[in-house]
Structure 1
Amino acid sequence: MTTTWPRGSMSTVQEGRPHTVRPTRGRLRGLAWVHALVMAGCAVLGLFVVVRYAIHSVRGFHFDDRMMLSLGTTPAAWWRILDVLGLVTDVSVALCLAVCVVVAMLQRRWAVAISAGVLIGGANITTQVLKYQVLQSVSPPNTLPSGHTTVGLSLALAAVIVASYRWRPLVTAGAALVATFVGAGTVSAHWHRPGDVLAAGMVCLGWAAVALAIVGGLQRRVPVGRRPVRLAAASVLGVLLAGLAVVLIGVRPRFGIYDLPLALCTLGLLGAMFAIVVGWVSQAVDRIVA
């Protein structure tokens, strides 16, 4: 007896496994643009809110300063944080940028190499221009956005974009850990207020949107699949590990139990921002970047 299959039915089942329908290049390009526009819109809105509250409002500025001062460090912790922040130099940024580009080029992922360079260069130049040429604070000199946070987060996001499909969850966790530690470290060492770090996060998110638009428009490969839960969990795990590291090295509420609620709020706010930014970019990359 011969079984007649309806036309097209064999495309859904092959050897007992569901057939994965991959998007066409046109659909992939449209998906990349949607992600980029939404991400860029949130970045601009977030930056506007932070600037308006943190440096253009006297009350907001003083509360932001109070949040920074709620965190204190032991002498040993302070030196450990400075050792890490001291690694953020022009040479180290250039070296990390070169590594990201070379790794992508060795894999013949030319669009990924271009997008990584655009993300790192664009985010860091934008931060310097905003800080020294555009924005003015109610209490000069202006320190928003944080340059160290921009460097750490832009390099972390570039690593997520460059990472292969198999290694992306692990790289996402590492990226969230490094970026969170650098951002929280600048606040704990009293180099920057939390608003400076949040603003740097919005700058990096905006340039990540540009990077995704570039990849979506230029790459010819098709991504393998989507793992939103796994990547979100990896981002949260990296942030939690960074928070644990910050506590273990000696970051404490500056005035003990009195500052504990505000210190927890400060670290929680920073951690939430890094978890959202790294997790969001990683999930978008998983859907768009091959």
Structure 2
Amino acid sequence: MRRRRSGVPVRPVLSGLLALLCAAMVVLLARIAVGTASGQRLDQLTLSGAQLDTGPVSQVVGLAAGTVSLPVVLAALACVAVIAVLRRRADLLVPLAVLVGGANLSTQAIKHLVVTREVLGPGIDVTPNSFPSGHTTLAASTAIALVLVAGRARGPVAVLGALWTAGAGIGTLALGWHRASDVAGAIVVVATWTFLMLAVDGVLQYRRAPSAEEREPRRGIEVATAWALGLAGAAGMVLGVVAFAALGLPLLLHEPGHQQAAYRTTVAVISGGTALWMAMVLMLRVPEPRRASRGDRVP
């Protein structure tokens, strides 16, 4: 006899609230980074620092950005579909398609229809609007789709997904394709759709399996990975905030020291934020219903 669960399902509610928070962050990023002179100066400073840096980090992330191509993304999404079918989770195909499609369509709509870029101060490069980064959105949405469908391998895939997303995003800075706010905005757009999907899927899972006993237990490696990503992400964010506070004002656009410090700050914040996002996905995902054993099946 199934026991009904009473009370509010916490994880779906938290996922829904985080989706709203991320959507608000996209708006805030656009208004500050694109719509203010100070935001544009910080973006310009970071971009200049990224282009000056020739260290191993910039070389590696440049290679990561180069892997985000249409053939690679299509192959990865085909793997998502195959894994979902093999795991008998074909019900994930539509939500994941909505997540990936919604994130990428949202990015293009924001970039071309919503946000416009006007140069608001001296020393700022005159370019068309590039907020959010379509390149980073592709990488992040593909990575999170692989994480959500991965089953027992979810923990290791989350680590690889965080590395690929952060590397590809920072790589667009190193290659001069995008500004820091473009990358951050893209990751937050994908996070918005991810948490929205987790909220909807979580409600459905609670309806199918109201009690914890009816759902698959969380594996130790997934829990450990979530904690490791969360701690690493928090450390990166704190390091970035401290480094940002140490920049000092005014921001000198043509000062190499300021440029490199701004770039290092951006690397820490983007890497930390991506790790935190992956950690929260692992923590907020509602486990799937247990599959009936052969002895429990009705003949």
SS of alignment partner, residue 116 of structure 2: coil
2:16 aligns to what?
A: 37
Moved more, 134-143 or 219-228: 219-228
1:60 alignment partner, one of 32, 39, 47 = 39
Distance 1:263 1:257 in 2: 10
Deviations 1:193-246 (A, max 9, x none): 110011101100111022213322444462413755531314666999xxxxxx
AA matched with 1:224: P
Secondary structure of residue in 2 paired with 1:137: coil
**1:207 is matched with which residue: 193, 204, 209?**
193
Q: Matched residue pairs, number?
A: 254
Q: Which residue of 2 aligns with 1:69?
A: 48
Residues 238 and 102 of structure 1: CA distance in aligned 2, closer, same or farther (over 3 Å): farther
Aligned to 2:135: 148
Task: Specify whether residues 26 and 116 from structure 1 end up closer, same or farther in structure 2 by C-alpha distance, changes over 3 A only.
Answer: farther
Contact kept in structure 2, 1:102 and 1:113, CA below 8 Å:
no
Task: Give the match's secondary structure for 1:142.
Answer: coil
CA drift of 1:77 comes to 8.1
Cα drift, residue 112 of structure 1? 2.4
CA offsets 1:118-173 (integer angstroms, 9 cap, x no match)? 21111111111111122111245100000111111111111111111x32221111
Aligned-residue offset at 1:58: 2.1
Task: Decide which of 162, 165, 189 is 1:179's aligned counterpart.
Answer: 165
Is 1:230 the counterpart of 2:225? The answer is: yes
Q: Tell me which residue corresponds to 1:249.
A: none
**TM-score, length of structure 1 as denominator length:** 0.75
Distance in 2, Cα, partners of 1:23 & 1:138: 59
Mapping of residues 1-290 of structure 1, within 5 Å: 30-71=9-50, 72-74=52-54, 83-139=63-119, 140-164=127-151, 166-219=152-205, 220=208, 222-225=215-218, 228-234=223-229, 257=257, 259-285=259-285, 287-289=286-288
Alpha-carbon separation, structure 2, partners of 1:25 and 1:121? 33
TM superposition shift of 1:24: 5.5
Partner of 1:18: none
* Residues 283/24 of structure 1: CA separation in 2 closer, same or farther (3 Å cut): farther
Cα distance in 2 for partners of 1:70, 1:126 equals 29
Over 3 Å counting, the alpha-carbon distance change for 1:232 and 1:112 in structure 2 is farther
Query: What does residue 9 of structure 1 align with?
Result: none
Alpha carbons 2:66, 2:168 under 8 Å: kept: no
State the distance in 2 between where 1:24 and 1:136 align: 51
Cα offset, 1:182, TM superposition: 0.3
The alignment's C-alpha RMSD in Å is 3.2
Distance 1:235 1:119, change over 3 A: farther
TM-aligned CA deviation for residue 73 of structure 1? 3.9
Contact 2:226-2:279 at 8 Å conserved across structures:
yes
Shift of 1:108: 0.9
CA contact (8 A) 2:46 2:260 kept: no
The equivalent residue for 2:122 is: none
Q: Are 1:93 and 1:151, in contact at CA under 8 Å, matched by a contact in 2? A: yes
Q: Quote the Cα distance in structure 2 between the aligned partners of 1:233 and 1:80.
A: 23
CA distance in 2: counterparts of 1:39 and 1:145, whole angstroms:
19
Which runs of no fewer than 5 residues in structure 2 stay unpaired?
A: 120-126, 210-214, 236-253, 290-299
Contact map agreement 1:131 1:145 (CA 8 A) in 2: yes
Mapped partners of 1:224, 1:239: distance in 2: 26
SS at match of 1:167: helix
Note if contact 2:68-2:168 (Cα within 8 Å) is conserved in structure 1: no
Unmatched tracts of structure 1, length 5 or more: 1-21, 241-253
Aligned partners of 1:61, 1:131: CA distance in 2, in Å? 16
Aligned equivalent of 1:8: none
Paired with 1:105 and 1:113, the residues of 2 have a C-alpha distance of 9
